[in-house]
């Protein structure tokens, strides 16, 4: 594997880009971050000409893979040709909003922003403005982007800043509880019920090794929010239009949030975020209400066109059947491969998300609910995954995200042959 150009580019990038990258996760790839020249279907080709079967898939947005199908490409090209953006409204944002509202019953009104982080930050401000309360409940091991309210560690008793630069005063307003823990959630409401503006959670933990919800957990969130007058914000940035197909994870798991955040797939590979929800709550945003939200690039025409064409393509073709069945095959194949190695490994995921975790002590008595929360994944051998496993897969032509926590994604461009190649590589590496 020749990486001469990659090495040179990385060394050069260190003089102008912080750590040589624009998002820290990319620096997790040792000894150099990947520098991509182009995508080809389910593959990426790096600047040295190495070709990898890609399960990073942009960290989630690329439902259709790296090649835009003709209708998506035409929609994007046509929009670019007309002019990149205007700071004025277009029909595209209305159409994309209608598509989402038509498929996700909890969504009546939307606001388009430019990233998942912006969407969750605005959703929480909206919840605070609408309720007149300051505290939010988050899940330990959940991820909602880099924002002061979410970069908080610790527990309900002792929340603390999760990054330098986050004021203690922000951390004090965030209450972290374990995912899937109804008792901890009820305790938080008992202690702080009249101060809690919102509970924000992903339907499943998608940035922490993939932790699925146990039956009833989201019902409890709904019930407690109703009882105490808080809002339920569901973060579908990863799961939206992936898990549960066009009805999203809230359709699959029967979740009834007040607000939902979207991003990734909704922009068809271009920067996007969105907040959606009931009209009565959403209209607290400016201009109809008092909660400020604004953006030069909000509803960016190219992202709107790409997102709409992507979702229409998924609706008209058997995209979800394809990605889910390949991902099923991967999970089943991986389970067979690691069966002899239990309890050292766990295969996790759902729909087109999958991951093989290096655990240490998967409890044999609850394999269906393992991992149950973020701490189960953190307790695994994450260092070994990163140090040994990831480079070994890359040597065999398979590109996985640089750490044990990030989900792997199957796209419409992946094939059965890709899946077989992947399983062979896993088998080889684990042997």
Residue 327 lies near ligand PMP (rule: CB under 6 A):
no
Give the phi and the psi of residue 153 in degrees, each rounded to 5.
-115, -170
Q: Which two tokens stand for residue 201?
A: 């959670």
Active site residue 355: no
Q: How many positions of this chain bind ligand PMP (CB under 6 A)? A: 15
The residue (of 6 and 140) whose beta carbon lies closer to ligand PMP is 140
Give the phi and the psi of residue 186 in degrees, each rounded to 5.
-65, -40
In the range 196-235, which residues lie near ligand PMP by CB under 6 A?
A: 202, 206-207, 235
The residue (of 163 and 183) whose beta carbon lies closer to ligand PMP is 163
Contact stretch for ligand PMP (CB under 6 A) within 74-82, 114-122, 167-175, 360-368? 114-122
Active site residue 135: no
Among 116, 129, 245, 371, binds ligand PMP (CB under 6 A): 116
CA 209 to chain centre: 11
The residue (of 237 and 429) whose beta carbon lies closer to ligand PMP is 237
Distance CA 53, CA 362 (A): 29
Distance CA 40, CA 38 (A): 7
The residue (of 9 and 274) whose beta carbon lies closer to ligand PMP is 274
CB neighbourhood size of 186 (10 A): 16
DSSP run (H or E) holding 279: helix 279-282
Write out the DSSP string of 184-199: HHHHHHHHHGGGEEEE
With contact defined as beta carbons under 8 Å apart, do 129 and 193 qualify?
no
Q: Which of 235, 373, 376, 418 is catalytic?
A: 235
Residue 143 lies near ligand PMP (rule: CB under 6 A):
yes
β pairing state of 353-358 and 398-399: unpaired
β pairing state of 196-201 and 231-235: parallel
SS3 state of residue 138: strand
SS3 state of residue 394: helix
The least CB distance from residue 238 to ligand PMP, in Å, is 4
Active site residue 235: yes
In the range 255-284, which residues lie near ligand PMP by CB under 6 A?
A: 263
The least CB distance from residue 118 to ligand PMP, in Å, is 7
In the range 233-252, which residues lie near ligand PMP by CB under 6 A?
A: 235, 237-238
The least CB distance from residue 136 to ligand PMP, in Å, is 14
Q: Whose CB is nearest to ligand PMP?
A: 116
Greatest pairwise CA separation for the chain in angstroms: 61
Q: Which of 10, 52, 143, 313 is catalytic?
A: 143
The least CB distance from residue 377 to ligand PMP, in Å, is 15
Distance CA 312, CA 74 (A): 13
Residues forming the active site: 143, 235, 264
- Residues near ligand PMP (CB under 6 A): 59, 115-117, 120, 143-145, 202, 206-207, 235, 237-238, 263
């Amino acid at each position: 594997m020749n990486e001469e150009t990659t090495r040179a580019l990385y060394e050069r990038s260190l003089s102008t880009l912080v750590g040589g990258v624009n998002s820290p996760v990319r620096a997790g790839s040792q000894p150099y971050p990947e520098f991509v020249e182009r995508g080809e279907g389910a593959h990426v080709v790096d600047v040295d000409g190495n070709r990898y079967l890609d399960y990073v898939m942009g960290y989630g947005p690329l439902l259709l893979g790296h090649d835009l199908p003709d209708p998506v490409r035409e929609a994007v090209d046509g929009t670019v040709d007309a002019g990149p953006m205007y700071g004025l409204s277009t029909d595209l944002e209305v159409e994309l909003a209608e598509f989402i509202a038509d498929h996700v019953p909890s969504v009546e009104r939307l606001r388009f922003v430019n990233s998942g982080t912006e969407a969750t930050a605005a959703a929480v401000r909206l919840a605070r403005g609408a309720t007149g309360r300051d505290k939010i409940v988050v899940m330990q091991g959940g991820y909602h982007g880099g924002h002061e309210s979410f970069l908080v560690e610790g527990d309900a008793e002792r929340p603390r800043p999760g990054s330098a630069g986050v004021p203690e005063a922000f951390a004090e307003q965030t209450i972290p509880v374990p995912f899937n823990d109804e008792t901890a959630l009820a305790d938080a409401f008992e202690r702080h019920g009249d101060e809690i503006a919102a509970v924000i959670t992903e339907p499943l933990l998608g940035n922490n090794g993939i932790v699925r919800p146990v039956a009833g957990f989201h019902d409890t969130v709904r019930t407690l929010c109703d009882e105490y007058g808080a809002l339920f914000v569901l973060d579908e940035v990863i799961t939206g239009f992936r898990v549960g197909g066009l009805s999203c994870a809230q359709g699959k798991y029967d979740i009834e949030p007040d607000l939902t955040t979207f991003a990734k797939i909704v922009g068809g590979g271009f920067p996007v975020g969105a907040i959606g929800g009931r009209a009565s709550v959403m209209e607290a945003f400016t201009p109809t209400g008092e909660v400020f939200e604004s953006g030069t690039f909000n509803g960016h025409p190219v992202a709107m066109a790409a997102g709409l064409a992507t979702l229409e393509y998924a609706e008209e073709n058997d995209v979800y059947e394809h990605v889910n069945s390949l991902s099923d095959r991967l999970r089943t194949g991986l389970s067979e491969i690691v069966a002899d190695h239990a309890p050292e490994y766990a295969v996790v995921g759902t729909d087109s998300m999958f991951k093989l975790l290096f655990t240490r002590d998967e409890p044999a008595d609850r394999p269906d609910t393992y991992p149950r929360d973020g701490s189960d994944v953190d307790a695994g051998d994450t260092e070994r995954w990163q140090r040994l496993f990831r480079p070994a897969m890359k040597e065999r032509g398979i590109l996985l995200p640089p750490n044990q926590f990030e989900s792997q994604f199957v796209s419409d461009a992946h094939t059965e042959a890709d899946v077989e190649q992947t399983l062979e590589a896993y088998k080889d590496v684990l042997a």
